[in-house]
Amino acid sequence: MANLLGYYVYNLELTAVKDNTELEKLLIATSSRAVIVIEDIDCSVDLTGQRVKMREKEKENENNQVLHRLGMEENETKSSKITLSELLNFIDGLWYACGGERIIVFTTNYVERLDPVLIRRGRMDKHIEMSYCSFEGFKVLAKNYIGVEWHELFPRIERLLGGGGDDAGGCGGEFDAEELGRRCRGVLGECGEGARG
């Protein structure tokens, strides 16, 4: 996306941002014409139904205020203090007053764990499910990243990704994503070496 548009890419690791003020400063410092990527948002900050969890936690700890305070202090020292509200302000564009074109990309493996206000339509305009890589997708990656449009190993990769033939994951017909990924990365490395050599 960034290559196609000629945009800069910023990878924002929310766990490294200590609070809302720092988040705001980082976002304002991004250049215009930028893609801001926040990967694995379900793991980055506790935005997974945060409001509901906070109410449940408060009820659970009403009878033991000492343990509650110790737990809060521990959480404050270990995790980011970015709030859902501040992140929503960022997404909704309140900081866009500084101008510029920006695309925000969030990734998650568990969209169902995220707070519904974070992922509602209108806030996140496109929801794209990316499943396992197809052979056509693999060819695009090989072309874009190592400049290989065709290689003698491509038929083998097609069999690996297509689920047919003797090389179908090497698992007796069962799909093993880790094994398949390892094999394809190995073949892709061989293709890249051939292209460079």
- pLDDT recorded at residue 3: 82
pLDDT single digits (tens) 111-143 = 888 888 888 887 888 888 888 888 998 898 888
- pLDDT recorded at residue 9: 94
- pLDDT recorded at residue 89: 83
pLDDT single digits (tens) 19-55 = 888 988 888 888 888 899 999 888 877 665 555 555 5
**Domain residue extents for the chain:** 2-119, 135-196
Q: Look over the chain and give the mean of its residue pLDDT values, rounded to a whole number.
A: 74
Contact 34, 9 (CB under 8 A): yes
State the number of CA atoms in the 13 A half-sphere of 36 facing the CB.
19
- pLDDT recorded at residue 74: 44
Tell me how crowded residue 132 is: count the other CB atoms within 10 A of its CB. 10
Band (pLDDT 50/70/90 cuts) for residue 165 is very low
Phi, psi of 193 (to 5 degrees): -65, -40
- pLDDT recorded at residue 79: 57
- Dig out the tokens for 84 from the structure: 């859902």
pLDDT single digits (tens) 94-112 = 555 556 688 889 999 888 8
| Closest to 135 (Cα-Cα) out of 120, 150, 113 | 150
Band (pLDDT 50/70/90 cuts) for residue 73 is very low
- Dig out the tokens for 94 from the structure: 């309140």
Q: Pseudo-torsion of CA 132, 135, 139, 144, nearest 10°?
A: -10
Helix ranges (DSSP H) in the chain:
2-5, 20-29, 41-44, 50-60, 65-78, 84-92, 116-119, 135-146, 154-162, 177-196
